[in-house]
């Protein structure tokens, strides 16, 4: 059985996505690569509970009731991808995992290899914006 993961596309008024630079530790998968925030679903936890917990742990923000964007069946996992407009200033966030947070435009993401195959997820988000954004 594949493990379950959750991630969240946090976007701003400029249609940029918030990514974090993964730690550069020996043995860490995708070390020193840009990534969409998220984490692994723990035993007894729902994907909704997981993404709320992960955002509290990683950036100190309660995202409230998450909005599911899509579920992806990757080779190594089932990924529940959420989406939310993000009003916070990243300078004011307490990043507890990773090296940095940064806003990326669609053009910048296309030119950047993201961890865990998330380029496809970002591309799907940008293609579907008219369906999900106000």
How many domains are there within the chain? 1
15-49, pLDDT tens digit by residue?
A: 999 999 999 999 999 999 999 999 999 999 999 99
**Surface-to-core class of residue 104, CB atoms within 10 Å of its CB (0-12 exposed, 13-18 middle, 19+ buried):** middle
Q: Where are the alpha helices (DSSP H) in 2-117?
A: 47-59, 106-110
CATH code of the domain containing 94: 3.90.79.10
pLDDT at 7: 98
Q: Which domain range does residue 120 map to?
A: 3-132
Mean pLDDT, range 114-132, rounded to an integer: 87
pLDDT at 131: 56
pLDDT at 80: 98
- Mean pLDDT, the chain, as a whole number? 93
Mean pLDDT, range 89-110, rounded to an integer: 94
Q: Return the percentage of the chain with pLDDT > 90, whole number.
A: 88
Pairing of strands 17-21, 34-35: antiparallel
pLDDT at 129: 73
- Asked if the model's pLDDT at residue 133 lies above 60, the reply is no
What count of other Cβ atoms lies within 10 Å of the Cβ of residue 121?
22
Give SS3 for 32: coil
């Amino acid at each position: 059985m594949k493990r379950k993961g959750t991630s969240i596309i946090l976007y701003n008024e400029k249609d940029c996505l918030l990514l974090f630079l993964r730690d550069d530790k020996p043995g860490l998968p995708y070390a020193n690569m840009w990534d969409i925030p998220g984490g692994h679903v723990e035993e007894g936890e729902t994907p909704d509970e997981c993404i709320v917990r992960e955002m509290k742990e990683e950036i100190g923000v309660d995202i409230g009731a998450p909005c599911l964007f899509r579920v992806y069946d990757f080779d190594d996992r089932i990924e529940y991808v959420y989406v939310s407009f993000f009003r916070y200033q990243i300078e004011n966030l307490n990043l507890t995992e990773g090296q940095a947070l940064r806003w990326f435009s669609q053009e910048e993401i296309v030119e950047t290899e993201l961890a865990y195959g998330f380029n496809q997820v970002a591309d799907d988000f940008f293609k579907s914006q008219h369906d999900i954004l106000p």
